[in-house]
Structure 1
């Protein structure tokens, strides 16, 4: 009789503290691990990258799965309606509409706007910091930058953004593989509040259309009667969240990693063109989203074991990105790494909608760092935001110290 695979517990404090040490143990133990009830866990790059594209796996879960994961409340219906948790044909329809708001052409046009926002936010942060140059990367840049950009795309007015912020942060809890009972009420409250807020915006755009995502979705609804209002509202809420969570974590990781690896910061400042591959390396090195799940619609075989239909496969993106079978010296940060086949944006038909937007914003921040007249230095302990799904930060205190050379204007 075959020995049972090891078990992976995403809520283990050791996973939250240092998932990569745990992942290394999983990979060494085999290609398949046990997870929570009804779950199997995959940790090798070859398997994760293949299964992300496997059509026998879906993203549409039975109602009892959401009930088990988040408990009773509005987050359950929300998760069932959003494009992330739909399979074809609903997913194909919704993604097709939303993709227009994240097109490559629009992302190219956003480059200058995003760079301007980075300059503005950092200038304001330095002005508030005064002579001591102290600021917090998370509160001064990593959170407000992607929120500003996604609010602009969606059509959320400036005056409302401070009110929306705390609910957006709480919404992240609804996307965990398992939401602890003590956090469920906050997740459900966030969904209810954001639904109500977005519903008001939808009414306003129905009266006064604009050049934003909500107006585009309303136009699509007029020609697609099956696209109901509730689905429209919930997907706007989801896109708002998706438009900042990954990018906030990416920017935070970039700063934190560069503070820990001054040689890589010096290299970036010597070679600003490395901003492009550096974004990919930060996505690999400490993936903003550590895991994604798939519902097994048809049985699949992994390492001689059959995973039956009705089970959940947890694909550990963070582990795949550190697999030595695919990456040379994976624990080393290398902003020149090429090729870099990380899986941080998922894959297949559910490849992250906001991937291009996150890359635009990440590059803008790294270009600012490369050309900044001040060099960031650690100014206190970095504080993580505990999460089993996201590699998130609550605080990254830094001091901007005068650089030895003047700023050079970034090239296009």
Structure 2
């Protein structure tokens, strides 16, 4: 049973947090003023409707992500017979595991990742990006539909060795599963997630069986062969890892690209960036990730008595790091609402922190850098024509982002 802790500073963070409705269209459209108001009241506040403490300060959110007394405690959905595949896809993934299981899984997966797969992808990402750009019109176009959304699927499929003829379902499966992380999901969303989980898992299981018989030079083959002494990934762990790579990799890349590009192109007195300069491009990507983060909420559960930000937590209490709020904390980022591609250092929390820091961060950064450089090589001066937000808070992004070369 969750409890409402009695710690209530004079600003009354309990009341302030309860005023934050994460399903409110106004909050979804532009959460930052609302998050700033909550952070000013208290950087760690109780939300009775959600049954969770909300960390909006950078220090507090960082502590939530790093404190080992807080963990990812996955609770299986019920009835478990209906949710069987969805449940084990999460329970056997790195994201929802805790030590010692997490330590073991991350070691095995990192070993497979460490065989040069990310580095070898750079030329191929550029080739895939150029192919997508070749199909775009010279006038206005939806940069998400025609470029940013298909590219991560192609990249992850390339990484895992998914044949080109079998890639069409990957994006649909991914979008159905990640919709479950939102606070306003519906029974229809849940049914789609169950179906997508079963189909996705069955597909990866078959593909892994093929790689076991005839290994290739792809990451899935290395995951099948990954060993640490006598230890290796189980069948469920292997499938869960592949599914997580697509789900997390696709959403972070698409939303990071779309959010960041919109922030940059609509910034007052838009700052110019030489994207042929590797260092300048890397700083631009980091500001993409900070200024309008693709992931806004990451939850932890207290495993033992813990004090975070002046609040005492008992086992079972839940606390969520609001990453977008932390990434605009004025205590850490000067003029935090301004898009500044020269910002350095830029200690944002967009990829998390601690033992659950995103294992795919190097790939996401590479993909963003290559896709940006390739896009701007063809369209060096774009402007936003139309922007339509997705009606989601946790995974923040656009449904449409129509751009056009400036006349």
Give the TM-score normalised by structure 1. 0.87
How much has 1:104 moved relative to structure 2? Answer: 8.7
Residue 101 of structure 2 is aligned to residue 90 of structure 1: yes
Change (3 A) 1:299 1:181: farther
- 1:167-206 correspondence to structure 2 within 5 Å: 167-176=173-182, 179-206=185-212
Q: Which residue of 2 aligns with 1:387?
A: 392
Change (3 A) 1:101 1:244: farther
Q: Does the 8 A contact of 2:390 with 2:398 survive in 1?
A: yes
Change (3 A) 1:22 1:213: same
Residues 338-395 of structure 1 deviation map (CA, whole Å, 9 limit, x = unaligned): 111100000111000111111111111232344335522223x211222221112211
- 1:100-179 correspondence to structure 2 within 5 Å: 100-103=111-114, 105-125=116-136, 129=137, 133-176=139-182, 179=185
Q: Does the 8 A contact of 2:85 with 2:201 survive in 1?
A: no
How much has 1:138 moved relative to structure 2? Answer: 0.7
Match of 2:362 among 351, 356, 369: 356
SS at match of 1:342: coil
How much has 1:113 moved relative to structure 2? Answer: 2.3
Select between 344-353 and 34-43 the one with higher mean Cα deviation. 34-43
Distance 1:288 1:144 in 2: 17
Q: Which residue of 1 aligns with 2:67?
A: 54
Distance 1:201 1:223 in 2: 25
SS at match of 2:315: coil
Q: Does the 8 A contact of 1:31 with 1:302 survive in 2?
A: no
Q: Which residue of 1 aligns with 2:89?
A: 78
Q: Which residue of 2 aligns with 1:23?
A: 35
Q: Does the 8 A contact of 1:101 with 1:153 survive in 2?
A: no
Give the TM-score normalised by structure 2. 0.88
Q: Which residue of 2 aligns with 1:408?
A: none
Distance 1:269 1:154 in 2: 29
Distance 1:168 1:133 in 2: 30
- 1:246-395 correspondence to structure 2 within 5 Å: 246-261=252-267, 263-264=269-270, 266-268=272-274, 273-372=279-378, 374-379=380-385, 381-395=386-400
Change (3 A) 1:109 1:155: closer
SS at match of 2:43: coil
Residues 67-119 of structure 1 deviation map (CA, whole Å, 9 limit, x = unaligned): 59xx9563233222211000011111111122234439543333222222222
Distance 1:118 1:235 in 2: 25
SS at match of 1:289: coil
SS at match of 1:383: strand
Distance 1:123 1:302 in 2: 51
How much has 1:221 moved relative to structure 2? Answer: 6.4
**5+ long unaligned stretches in structure 2:** 1-5
Change (3 A) 1:182 1:311: farther
- 1:235-254 correspondence to structure 2 within 5 Å: 235-254=241-260
How much has 1:313 moved relative to structure 2? Answer: 0.9
**5+ long unaligned stretches in structure 1:** 403-412
How much has 1:258 moved relative to structure 2? Answer: 2.6
Change (3 A) 1:178 1:94: farther
Residues 243-267 of structure 1 deviation map (CA, whole Å, 9 limit, x = unaligned): 2210111111232123212743634
Match of 1:234 among 240, 263, 288: 240
Q: Does the 8 A contact of 2:122 with 2:366 survive in 1?
A: yes
How much has 1:199 moved relative to structure 2? Answer: 1.4
Select between 321-330 and 237-246 the one with higher mean Cα deviation. 237-246
SS at match of 1:313: strand
Residues 45-85 of structure 1 deviation map (CA, whole Å, 9 limit, x = unaligned): 0111122111101113343xx459xx956323322221100
Distance 1:67 1:77 in 2: 12
Change (3 A) 1:272 1:211: closer
Distance 1:111 1:30 in 2: 43
RMSD of aligned Cα (Å): 2.5
Change (3 A) 1:269 1:346: closer
